[in-house]
């Protein structure tokens, strides 16, 4: 399950992706992003700072400043965003690629039936989610609606 914070991040990035698709994209203020994404401004400030620090978006200062995508939507993997905003995505710490930790109560990972079952489910999930980019979400209202909810 993704967090509300992740939903806000995706909504804001979809607004920026829509702007990037225009013939002459312009920087969007945080107020404008909040308005277009129906997201509270107070949450967006922190989220956009994290995303900017990760090199996904850039901010431009000044009167006509705001936020723009730094990467093309096709280069922004949803798993990159999930890990950035929500942290590990594996259901068990012993299955995580980036945040691996041995389970404290596990004597033998190779024989662990819980790990085995969740590994099969998780790898199937990863095959799908790792292929998904911001471009896919921006291009497909149906996919975006499934992730974003009604």
User: pLDDT by residue (tens digit) across 39-75?
Assistant: 999 989 999 999 999 999 999 998 888 999 999 999 9
In three-state secondary structure terms, 149 is: coil
CATH T-level topology, domain 4-74: Arc Repressor Mutant, subunit A (1.10.10)
- Read off the tokens for 78: 């949803």
pLDDT, mean over the chain? 89
| Better pLDDT: 141 or 7 | 7
For residues 19-57, one letter each, b for 16 or more C-beta atoms within 10 angstroms of the residue's C-beta and e for the rest, the string is: bbeeeeeebbebeebbebbebeeeebeebbeebeebebb
Angstrom distance (rounded) from CA 29 to CA 10? 16
Tell me the percentage of the chain whose pLDDT exceeds 70.
Answer: 93
**Region 101-108 average pLDDT:** 88
Structure tokens at 68: 């723009």
Boundaries of CATH 1.10.10.10 in the chain?
A: 4-74
- The model's pTM is 0.83
Main-chain phi, psi angles of 66, to 5 degrees: 155, -155
Identify the CA nearest to 60 among candidates 104, 116, 16, 11: 16
Q: Is the distance from CB of 15 to CB of 37 less than 8 angstroms?
A: yes
Tokens 């890990």, residue located: 83
Structure tokens at 67: 């936020």
């Amino acid at each position: 399950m993704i967090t509300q914070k992740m939903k806000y991040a995706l909504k804001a990035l979809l607004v920026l992706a829509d702007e990037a698709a225009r013939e002459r994209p312009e920087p969007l203020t945080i107020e404008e992003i909040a308005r277009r994404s129906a997201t509270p401004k107070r949450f967006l400030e922190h989220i956009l700072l994290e995303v900017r620090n990760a090199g996904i978006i850039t901010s431009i200062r000044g009167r006509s400043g705001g936020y723009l995508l730094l990467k093309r939507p096709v280069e922004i993997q949803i798993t990159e965003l999930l890990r950035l905003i929500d942290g590990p995505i594996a259901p068990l710490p012993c299955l995580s690629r980036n945040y691996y930790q041995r389970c404290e109560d596990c004597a033998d990972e190779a024989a662990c039936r819980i790990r085995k079952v969740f590994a099969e489910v998780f790898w199937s999930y990863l095959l799908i989610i790792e292929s998904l980019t911001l471009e896919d979400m921006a291009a497909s209202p149906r996919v975006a609606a499934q992730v974003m909810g009604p």
